[in-house]
Amino acid sequence: MATTTPKVQGPASYFPSIEKTYGQPIDHWMSVLAAAGPLKHMELVSLLKTEHAMGHGHANALVAWHMAKNR
């Protein structure tokens, strides 16, 4: 009987693509978001999109993960 690893779901499912596309580990993006200060969700998404040329889906996934871990 083969063992299977559960499929990653939610924001983390984007992480491999984000790391490949933007060339930085997820910890880097968490540091960027932490350094931005206490901004609202969409303000952080906008920051990643405008200052780091990140796509909306990737930015939203990172912000959702960041906000969930820092509540």
Mean pLDDT by 10 residues, the chain (71 residues): 72 96 98 97 98 98 95 79
Dihedral, CA of residue 9, residue 68, residue 27 and residue 37, to nearest 10: 150
Closest listed residue to residue 69, CA positions, set 44, 51, 49:
44
Can you give the pLDDT at residue 35?
A: 97
Can you give the pLDDT at residue 52?
A: 97
Structure token digits, residue 29: 């993006």
Can you give the pLDDT at residue 60?
A: 97
In whole angstroms, what is the distance from residue 39 CA to residue 13 CA?
A: 24
Q: What pTM was computed for the model?
A: 0.88
Closest listed residue to residue 31, CA positions, set 17, 3, 13, 52:
52
Domain residue ranges in the chain: 11-69
